[in-house]
Amino acid sequence: MDLTLPGLPKIAIDRRRALVAAGVAAAVIALAFIGWMLFLGYTDERQVAVFGARVAASEADLFLVSEKISAYMRASPDHLPLGEIDGRTREFVAVAEYGKGVSAYHRQAVAADAVPIAYAGAQSAYVRGLDSLVRAFSLWSSAAGAYDAKAYSAAKENLARADEAWGEYAAAMADYERELRAAEEGETVPPA
């Protein structure tokens, strides 16, 4: 049994043709690399734009809820009839529950976005802020429910915990602004 390979014809390439082939190969590789870099740049810009749009929508929705919550927090029940206080308490619960739902929705939407690595810190801070806001709205709702049930000490405790959660939200938003500014300027953020 003979296992020899058939001979292949010799290819004679002169120096000029070899240089042309190498130049064409280098040009194709360079074009592919440039195309890939342009694609990545476009993808990063698109991800940042989507992230920015989600944050803007979140801030717009939460601004409306914040106005309503603030109005209830500023109102003094001292001069209202008892029936009206009960009605306002139920309205406050409804607004707080709505705020919790809006915050949870936007938290899920913002957390699901793919962002470039430079924006991951900003995204994380914003999601942390929305988590704190969901907790604050839940505690406000619980406080109003406890007040309605005449459990005043529980209501006061829940309001205090809601204030803490609001403070955590404010701190997370400050972190978000710092992280976002650093990402847009291409800097590394020092620890807070």
| 170 domain residue, yes or no | yes
Examine residue 178 and state whether it is found in any structural domain, yes or no: yes
Distance CA 121, CA 156 (A): 35
pLDDT attached to residue 5: 61
Average pLDDT over residues 166-189: 88
* Under 8 Å between Cβ of 80 and 92: no
Tell me if 38 is assigned to some domain. no
Q: What confidence score (pLDDT) does residue 2 get? A: 59
The burial class, CB within 10 Å (0-12 / 13-18 / 19+), for 99 is buried
Is residue 3 domain-resident?
Answer: no
User: What is the DSSP code (8-state) at residue 149?
Assistant: T
pLDDT confidence band for 80 (50 / 70 / 90): low
Domains contained in the chain, number: 1
Structure tokens at 192: 């807070």
pTM: 0.71
| Domain membership of residue 62 as a residue range | 48-185
Evaluate whether residue 88 is within a structural domain.
yes
Q: List, for residues 87-145, the tens digit of each pLDDT value.
A: 777 888 888 899 999 999 999 999 998 888 889 999 999 999 999 999 999 998 898 88
Would residue 16 count as lying in a domain? no
More confident residue, 71 or 83: 71
Give the amino acid at 101: G
pLDDT tens for residues 4-47? 666 666 666 788 888 888 888 888 888 888 887 777 666 778 88
